[in-house]
Amino acid sequence: MIDINKDPNVDIPEESLREAVRIVLGNGTGADIFRAKLDTSAGTPVSERQARRYRKVAEDVIAELPQETIKRMIKDDEYMPDMLVQEEETAYPPILVPAVNNRSAILDLEVLSPSFNRMGRYSHFLLCASFYPFDGEPYTLSLQWDDQRDDRRLLHQVLNEVAQYEFIVGHNVKGYDINWLMTRCMFYGWQIPRRLFYYCTYAAAKRIPIATRKSLGHLMDFFRITEAEKTQILPVQWDRIRSPYKADFDNAMRDIVYHCENDVIGNRRLYDIVYRYDMKPVWKLFPH
C-alpha cells in the first residue's frame, strides 16, 4: 500500500496510481498516462485533465518513496527510468518568479487551416479555444459533432467569453489569434469587438535580450517549463476532423483540445517569466 496523502481533488484508485508512478518514473508525461487509459475510482478512463493531475500525484508519491521501493514497483522495462542507473545528473535550477494575478486569461485557438487565404465556410473554421484564467483552471470551448463543421455557434461563444476578461494574453496573440477571430467575424458579416486589451508573450520575448528561438516550444524548453507538454497535431490528425464518422471526429478533437490546453498552461507560466524581464511591458488596445 502506498502511504501518502493524495490530492483530494484527484480521483485515482491504488492500482492506477501505481501504474502512473511507473509511467512518470520512466520520464512519461500526462499524455502517456492518458494514452494508458488508467481507470478512475468510478471505473471510467482518465480524462486529459485528470491525467495531468495524476502525473502531479505520481510525482508527489515518488518524492516520498525510497529508491529501493521504487525499484521493486517496476515489474518490466516498459517505463524503466534512466534515473535508476545514474548516480549523478546535471540539473538546471527552476525559474522561480511570483505569479501575476488580475482579471486576465491566456487564450489559444486551434483552427482547421491556419492559412488566412482559405477562409471559406467549410474549409477554414474554428475548432476550439482554450482559456486559462489567471485566477482559475484551464478550460476549452470546442466544436461539436452536431455543429457539422459550422463554427458560428462556437465563434459566438468564444467572442462572448473573451469579453468576460479585462486582458487577453497569448503567444503571437495579435498576429494570429485576434486577427483570425476578427477575420472570421468579418467573413460572416458580423460586428467586431471595439475594445480588447491584450499582451503578447511572443512580442515580449522579442523585446528581452534572450538568444533563443521565440516559439512557444523553444521558450518553454529554455525556461524549463514542465507544467505542460509542447505537443503537436500532424496533418492526418487535423484532417480527421472532416471525417464523416463521429468516432474519427471525437478522437481528433480530443487530441486537439489536449494540445490547445497544454499550450495555454505553458504560456501561463511563460507569461510570469517574460513579464518579469520585459523591458517595456505593454498592454495594448485592439485595434490600435
pLDDT digits (tens, 9 = 90+) for 80-105: 344 333 344 455 565 555 555 557 89
Cell of 25: 518514473
Alpha carbons 151 and 168: distance in angstroms, whole number: 21
pLDDT at position 15, please? 80
Alpha carbons 129 and 125: distance in angstroms, whole number: 12
User: How confident is the model over 136-156, as a mean pLDDT?
Assistant: 92
Residues 177, 65 within the same domain: no
Domain assignment present for 2: no
Question: Which range is most confident: 63-72, 85-94, 186-195, 249-258?
Answer: 249-258
Q: Residue 222, Cα to own-chain centre: how many angstroms? A: 17
pLDDT at position 51, please? 78
Whether the Cβ atoms of residue 169 and residue 201 lie closer than 8 Å to each other: yes
Res 30 pLDDT > 80: no
Torsion of CA 148, 152, 157, 161, to 10 degrees: 130
Domain assignment present for 149: yes
pLDDT at position 47, please? 80
pLDDT at position 171, please? 96
Residue with cell 481533488: 9
Last residue of a domain, one of 85, 114, 141: 85
Domain assignment present for 8: no
Per residue in 203-221, pLDDT (tens digit) is 999 998 888 999 999 999 9
Pairing of strands 167-170, 104-111: parallel
Residue with the larger pLDDT of the pair 280 and 261: 261
Alpha carbons 274 and 277: distance in angstroms, whole number: 5
Cell of 242: 472532416
Last residue of a domain, one of 56, 85, 114: 85
Residues 137, 211 within the same domain: yes
Range of the domain at 251: 104-286
Alpha carbons 256 and 83: distance in angstroms, whole number: 32
Residues 168, 63 within the same domain: no
Q: Residue 121, Cα to own-chain centre: how many angstroms? A: 27
Alpha carbons 221 and 30: distance in angstroms, whole number: 17
Res 240 pLDDT > 80: yes
CA atoms in the 13 A half-sphere facing the CB of 98: 2
Residues 251, 113 within the same domain: yes
Residues 42, 182 within the same domain: no
* Beta strands across the sheet bearing 167-170: 139-142, 126-133, 104-111, 167-170, 196-200, 284-286
Res 116 pLDDT > 70: no
Domain assignment present for 92: no
Whether the Cβ atoms of residue 158 and residue 190 lie closer than 8 Å to each other: no
Residues 131, 196 within the same domain: yes
Domain assignment present for 263: yes
Q: Domain holding 186: CATH number?
A: 3.30.420.10
Domain assignment present for 192: yes
Residues 133, 37 within the same domain: no
Alpha carbons 202 and 174: distance in angstroms, whole number: 10
- Reference 241, options 157, 156, 177, 149; nearest CA is 149
Alpha carbons 214 and 92: distance in angstroms, whole number: 20
User: How confident is the model over 147-170, as a mean pLDDT?
Assistant: 91
Residues 128, 247 within the same domain: yes
Alpha carbons 231 and 264: distance in angstroms, whole number: 12
Pairing of strands 196-200, 167-170: parallel
Last residue of a domain, one of 25, 54, 85: 85
Residues 146, 278 within the same domain: yes
Alpha carbons 5 and 65: distance in angstroms, whole number: 12
User: How confident is the model over 60-89, as a mean pLDDT?
Assistant: 54
pLDDT at position 142, please? 95
Whether the Cβ atoms of residue 107 and residue 129 lie closer than 8 Å to each other: yes
Per residue in 180-206, pLDDT (tens digit) is 898 888 888 888 876 788 999 999 999
Domain assignment present for 3: no
Residues 162, 115 within the same domain: yes
How many structural domains does the chain have? 2
Residues 138, 213 within the same domain: yes
Residues 40, 117 within the same domain: no
Residue with cell 511572443: 202
Task: Report in angstroms the alpha-carbon separations of 254 from 51, 129, 205.
Answer: 13, 13, 30
Domain assignment present for 271: yes
